[in-house]
C-alpha cells in the first residue's frame, strides 16, 4: 500500500528583497523628480508670461497715450532731430498747455501746464529704462514724433526678468495753433504755401483766388479787389519819381488852409519821370 504522509503542507511566504526595494525606490524617485521638473518649468513659463503680459500692457498704454496727445497737439515744441527724454507739446486748451511727458527714475510722468501736478503713467510693476522722443519735420505735412521705449518687469527674480524695446512714430493730425509770432528759423527766404497747396484766407479778411487778392472780398475777380475804401495816408516826404517808383500814387497832406495834393509817378512820351498831379 502506498504511504500516506502525515505532514502538514508548508505555506510559502515570499516578500520583497532588498534589491527589489532599492530598484522600486529609485524608480519612484525618478518619477517624483520628473514631476517636480515639469512643475517648475510650468511655473517658470507662467511667471514669465505674467511678466511679459504686464510689460506689453504698460508699453501699449504709454504708446497710446503719447499718440493721443501728439495727434491733439498744435505744435511739437522741440528741436528737430535731437533725441530727448522729455516730450513738450503745445495744446489748444490753456488748461493743458504746455503738456509734458517725461521719464524720471524709471517712471513716466504726464504734466499739464508748467505748474501742473505730474501724473504717473506707469505702474510700480514695471520700470522704464529708456524713453526718447525725436521731432521729425516733414515740409508740406504735419510734424511727427519718433519714440523709443524700453520697458522691463520690475523684479529681482531672474525667472521674472523680461524687457522689451519698442520703436514707433506718431504724427500730428490737428491744425497748427500758434501762441507767438510766426518767425522763420533763419534769414533765408521762405514761402507761405505753394502753387499746388494754397491758403484760402487770412483771418477771413484777406482772401486769395488764383492770382487775385481780395480784401473783404471772398472771390476777387481782379488782381486786387477791396470791399470799401482804400486809403493812402502818406505823411512822409515824397520820394523822387523814377522807374522804381513808377505807378505809385502819393497823397501829400497839407496844413490848415491848404488843400491836399494827389499825384502819380509816371513818365511822359519823352521818357521823363515826374509826379503828375491829378488833384
State phi, psi for 53 to the nearest 5 degrees. Answer: -65, -40
- On whether both 42 and 131 belong to a single domain, the answer is yes
Tell whether 181 is covered by a domain: no
pLDDT at 276: 93
Other residues' Cβ atoms within 10 Å of the Cβ of residue 85: 14
The DSSP code sequence of 39-74 is: HHHHHHHHHHHHHHHHHHHHHHHHHHHHHHHHHH-S
- On whether both 202 and 273 belong to a single domain, the answer is no
Tally of domains within the chain: 3
- pLDDT for 34-60, tens place per residue? 777 776 766 666 666 777 888 888 888
- pLDDT for 58-115, tens place per residue? 888 888 898 889 888 888 888 888 899 999 998 888 888 899 999 998 999 999 999 9
Percent of the chain with pLDDT over 90: 24
Kindly compute the dihedral angle of the four CA atoms of residues 86, 92, 94, 95, in this order, to the nearest 10 degrees.
-70
Mean per-residue pLDDT, 178-188: 69
Q: Confirm if 126 and 107 have CB atoms less than 8 A apart.
A: no
Kindly compute the dihedral angle of the four CA atoms of residues 233, 237, 238, 243, in this order, to the nearest 10 degrees.
-120
pLDDT at 221 over 80: yes
- On whether both 121 and 40 belong to a single domain, the answer is yes
pLDDT at 31 over 60: yes
Tell whether 108 is covered by a domain: yes
Closest CA to 151 of 132, 168, 164, 161: 164
- pLDDT for 236-261, tens place per residue? 788 999 999 999 999 988 889 999 88
Q: Confirm if 52 and 45 have CB atoms less than 8 A apart.
A: no
Domain ranges, residue 241: 231-279
Amino acid at each position: 500500500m502506498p504511504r500516506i504522509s502525515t505532514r502538514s503542507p508548508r505555506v510559502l511566504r515570499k516578500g520583497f528583497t532588498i534589491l527589489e526595494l532599492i530598484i522600486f525606490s529609485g524608480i519612484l524617485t525618478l518619477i517624483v523628480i520628473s514631476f517636480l521638473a515639469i512643475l517648475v518649468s510650468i511655473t517658470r513659463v507662467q511667471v514669465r508670461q505674467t511678466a511679459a503680459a504686464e510689460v506689453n500692457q504698460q508699453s501699449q498704454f504709454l504708446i497710446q497715450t503719447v499718440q493721443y496727445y501728439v495727434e491733439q497737439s498744435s505744435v511739437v515744441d522741440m528741436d528737430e532731430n535731437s533725441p530727448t527724454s522729455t516730450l513738450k507739446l503745445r495744446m489748444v486748451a490753456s488748461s493743458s498747455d504746455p503738456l509734458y511727458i517725461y521719464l524720471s527714475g524709471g517712471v513716466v510722468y504726464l504734466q499739464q501746464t508748467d505748474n501742473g501736478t505730474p501724473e504717473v503713467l506707469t505702474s510700480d510693476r514695471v520700470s522704464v529704462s529708456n524713453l526718447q522722443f525725436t521731432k521729425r519735420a516733414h515740409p508740406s505735412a504735419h510734424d511727427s514724433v519718433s519714440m523709443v521705449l524700453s520697458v522691463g518687469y520690475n523684479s529681482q527674480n531672474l525667472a521674472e526678468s523680461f524687457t522689451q524695446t519698442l520703436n514707433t512714430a506718431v504724427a500730428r493730425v490737428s491744425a497748427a495753433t500758434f501762441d507767438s509770432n510766426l518767425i522763420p528759423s533763419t534769414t533765408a527766404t521762405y514761402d507761405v504755401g505753394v502753387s499746388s497747396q494754397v491758403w484760402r484766407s487770412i483771418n477771413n479778411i484777406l482772401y486769395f483766388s488764383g492770382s487775385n487778392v481780395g480784401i473783404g472780398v471772398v472771390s476777387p475777380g481782379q488782381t486786387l479787389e477791396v470791399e470799401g475804401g482804400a486809403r493812402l495816408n502818406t505823411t512822409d516826404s515824397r520820394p523822387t519819381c523814377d522807374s522804381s517808383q513808377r505807378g505809385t500814387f502819393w497823397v501829400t497832406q497839407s496844413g490848415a488852409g491848404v488843400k491836399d495834393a494827389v499825384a502819380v509817378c509816371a513818365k511822359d512820351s519823352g521818357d521823363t519821370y515826374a509826379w503828375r498831379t491829378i488833384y
